[in-house]
Amino acid sequence: MRKTAKQLGLPVANDVGAAPAKAFCHRNRHGVAYYLHRGTTRTGKPRYFFAKTIGESPLTELPAGWEVAESVNGVVTVRKADPAKAIPPADLSLVRDALDRDPVGRQCVVEAKGGAIIIHEPEGGSVPIRGDLAQLSKTLGLLPSEATAYFEAMSRNARYTPVMKFEPAFVGRAGEYLAHRRSYRGDGGWLALSHGSLDSLVKKYVRHIARESFFELM
């Protein structure tokens, strides 16, 4: 018996309504709408925040100098834009493209945060590998298009943990980064690997993510 889209966790029509036009809206990776509001601190300074419903003092646009920040797990905030920590879009795309070319890497997500490029993988292998979609389709009795939609839905709802980081190695020297991998010893943290051009580091290290060889990187 074929399962319904809702039983498989696939998007269902009318799950997400249209955003009211009277408030700035950001939909997170789960499709949940968040609306921008303005408040004040105890000292009378403006405070900006997102809420799932429109309350008092909604804003129709982002204030100048502020930006939307969304974590890989879908938490939405608004923060002061910091041009000094901005990652060039081309560098972020370079990392994303490398992951997209890898059947295992496609289950990872990438974000620019704190002046670094961070790669996250799903916790507990909760997202099937895209290369296994044919088997997934056969196991669940789905059409290929349904298996793809199922994969995308699982990706949106998965929780992620950071495993690799690329941060600029030298101030004023564009394109050079220092690579780190997540450490699982002691208190954890980041283990520095090596520095060089982002392209060379991506080719050297990204292929090890979500594989046993990852733990041998030093």
Question: Which residues have CB under 8 Å from 175's CB, separation 6+?
Answer: 91, 197, 198
pLDDT digits (tens, 9 = 90+) for 100-149: 888 788 888 899 888 899 999 888 755 655 556 666 676 777 777 777 77
**What predicted TM-score, i.e. pTM, was given to this entire model?**
0.69
> Among 85, 159, 154, which Cα is nearest to 115's?
85
pLDDT at residue number 129: 54
Number of Cα atoms under 13 Å in the Cβ half of residue 146:
18
CA distance 49 to 65: 14
* Predicted confidence (pLDDT) at residue 202 exceeds the cutoff of 90: yes
